[in-house]
């Protein structure tokens, strides 16, 4: 037996080698447990799926280093918190733009609220209230400024028209009265007949 081989055999039998063995094994064991703890925490932070969390932990228990490599490849890129804040940011941005813009009824382009015509298709986005001349969206039928209905005269204006029409009709009615005295008289007719 060559000298160096017998030296190795002696070293393997020595208590020093036993200590090194124990130290190495405990180091690997600690690393293994550490990886499992880290993967457990990371999987919980990145996924809400119990299946994914269990799978990540089990694969790292079964295959200490390869499992970690595999986990690093398949884990979600963003944590739950990152996704939550991104979603929040997106929603806030959308709300902000919704305040300043509106969608064209015809071509669905997002346009500024101040626009009267759609720059994309030329659709008339606004119309003017016939009662108060206030500007409002084409799809609305009630004016938000005065409450008037688009395309219909306002209630007050209707009353005005009725008032202005009534006296003329009455006069016409009275003028016809002498001819119609034979007609079965209603109360107001009787009154007018008496005064005549
Ligand atoms: Zn348009
Ligand atoms: Zn109006």
What is the pTM assigned to this prediction?
A: 0.48
| Shared domain check, 127 and 99 | yes
Rounded Cα distance, 51 and 181, in Å: 97
Ligand number nearest CA of 152 is: 2
Is residue 142 in some structural domain?
no
In eight-state DSSP terms, residue 12 is H
Is residue 133 in some structural domain?
yes
Rounded Cα distance, 35 and 190, in Å: 108
**How many angstroms is it from 111 CA to the middle of ligand 1?**
8
| Shared domain check, 68 and 101 | no
Is residue 145 in some structural domain?
no
Spatial contact of 100 and 113, defined as CB atoms under 8 Å apart: yes
- Residue 142, Ramachandran bin (φ over 0: left; ψ between -120 and 50: alpha; else beta): beta
**How many angstroms is it from 126 CA to the middle of ligand 1?**
12
Instruction: List per-residue pLDDT tens for the chain, 196 residues long.
Output: 678 888 888 888 888 898 999 999 999 999 999 999 999 999 999 999 999 999 999 999 999 889 999 999 999 999 999 999 999 999 988 887 777 788 888 898 888 888 889 999 999 888 888 889 888 888 888 888 898 887 766 556 556 655 555 555 555 555 555 544 444 545 554 444 454 5
The domain in which residue 113 lies consists of 83-137
**How many angstroms is it from 124 CA to the middle of ligand 1?**
8
Ligand number nearest CA of 130 is: 2
Ligand number nearest CA of 117 is: 1
The tally of domains found in the chain comes to 3
The alpha carbon dihedral of 151, 157, 159, 160 has a sign of: negative
| Shared domain check, 68 and 18 | yes
Is residue 22 in some structural domain?
yes
User: What are 110-125's pLDDT values in tens digits?
Assistant: 888 888 899 999 998 8
Cα 82 to its chain centre, rounded Å, is 19
| Shared domain check, 46 and 17 | yes
**How many angstroms is it from 150 CA to the middle of ligand 1?**
22
Written as six digits, the tokens of 133 are: 């001349």
Give the chain's largest Cα–Cα span. Answer: 155
Residue whose pair of structure tokens reads 């759609």 in the numeric block: 118
**How many angstroms is it from 11 CA to the middle of ligand 2?**
101
**How many angstroms is it from 69 CA to the middle of ligand 2?**
68
**How many angstroms is it from 148 CA to the middle of ligand 2?**
5
| Shared domain check, 61 and 107 | no
Residue whose pair of structure tokens reads 């393997």 in the numeric block: 12
- Distances in Å between the Cα of 162 and the Cα atoms of 149, 151, 158, 159, 173 are 18, 18, 6, 5, 16
**How many angstroms is it from 49 CA to the middle of ligand 1?**
43
């Amino acid at each position: 037996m060559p000298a160096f081989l017998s030296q190795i055999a002696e070293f393997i039998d020595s208590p020093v080698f036993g200590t090194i063995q124990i130290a190495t094994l405990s180091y690997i064991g600690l690393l293994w447990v550490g990886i499992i703890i880290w993967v457990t925490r990371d999987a919980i932070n990145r996924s809400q799926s119990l299946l994914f969390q269990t799978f990540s932990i089990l694969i790292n228990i079964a295959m200490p280093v390869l499992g970690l490599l595999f986990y690093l490849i398949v884990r979600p890129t963003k944590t739950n918190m990152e996704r939550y804040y991104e979603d929040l940011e997106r929603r806030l941005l959308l709300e902000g733009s919704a305040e300043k813009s509106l969608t064209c009824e015809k071509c669905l382009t997002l346009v500024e609220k101040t626009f009267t015509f759609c720059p994309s298709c030329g659709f008339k986005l606004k119309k003017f209230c016939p009662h108060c001349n206030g500007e409002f969206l084409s799809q609305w039928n009630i004016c938000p400024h005065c409450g008037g209905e688009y395309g219909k005269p306002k209630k007050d204006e209707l009353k005005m028209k009725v008032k202005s029409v009534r006296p003329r009709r009455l006069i016409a009615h009275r003028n016809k009265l002498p001819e119609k005295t034979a007609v079965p008289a209603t109360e107001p007719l009787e009154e007018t007949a008496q005064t005549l």
